[in-house]
Each structure stands twice: as C-alpha cells, then as structure tokens.
C-alpha cells in the first residue's frame, strides 16, 4: 500500500496523513476560538453564546473526524459529527436572534459608527 493511501475500515483514503494533520489543526483552532469566546463572554455578560456553542461544535466535529480517520470508535466518531451538526444549527439560531448594530453615517463626521436601533 502506498504511504499516502491507508485503509480506514473498508475504505481507502487518499492523503490520509494530510487529512489527519488538517483535522488536528482545526481542533487546535477550535479550542483557541472557544477559549477566546469564553473570555469575551465573561466580559460581555455572555452575549456571544453563539460563538461559544460554535467553538464546541468545531471541537466535536474535529474529534469525530479524527476518530473516523483513525478507524477507531467509528460509531462514537459518527455520533460526534452528528452532534456537531446539531450544535452548529443551535449556534446559527442563537446568532440570528441577537440584535446586531446597524452602521449609519453620522451627519457631518463622515464616519460610520455602530448604532443600536
């Protein structure tokens, strides 16, 4: 078997090592994003719940994909991918309920400043 092709279950995946590395990087970025969102949430009274939930979703998805790519605990990996999908839907719904500032041009200043309507 070629070094860039490995068997996972009954399926061969081209560039398996690359994909495993990529999902480890995504896991790291998701963990850093979650920590940043958590710190920002503490300062803003948890108004960024959608970003925190999205961080958890990224971690769930990365862990699930890594389990699937390594070929261990395939049902747990598939469950984590499904959980991540639900988590992203919840984050989208929470984010769409938040009141976002609109940018309006303040007369005479020539600069757009956020204004809550």
Distance CA 55, CA 61 (A): 10
Q: Per-residue pLDDT tens for 40-76?
A: 999 988 889 999 999 999 999 999 999 999 999 999 9
DSSP strands (E only) in the chain:
5-8, 11-14, 102-105, 112-115
Q: How many structural domains does the chain have?
A: 1
Say yes or no to pLDDT of 101 above 60.
no
pLDDT at 46: 87
Kindly report the number of other CB atoms within 10 A of residue 11's CB atom: 9
The domain of 51 spans: 5-115
């Amino acid at each position: 078997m070629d070094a860039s092709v490995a068997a996972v279950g009954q399926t061969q995946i081209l560039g398996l090592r690359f994909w495993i590395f990529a999902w480890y990087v995504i896991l790291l970025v998701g963990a850093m994003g979650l920590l940043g969102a958590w710190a920002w949430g503490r300062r803003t009274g948890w108004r960024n719940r959608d970003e925190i939930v999205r961080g958890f979703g990224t971690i769930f998805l990365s862990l699930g994909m890594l389990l699937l790519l390594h070929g261990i605990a395939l049902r747990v990996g598939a469950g984590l991918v499904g959980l991540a999908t639900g988590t992203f839907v919840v984050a989208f719904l929470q984010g769409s309920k938040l009141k976002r500032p609109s940018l309006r041009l303040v007369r005479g200043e020539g600069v757009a400043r956020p204004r809550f309507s």
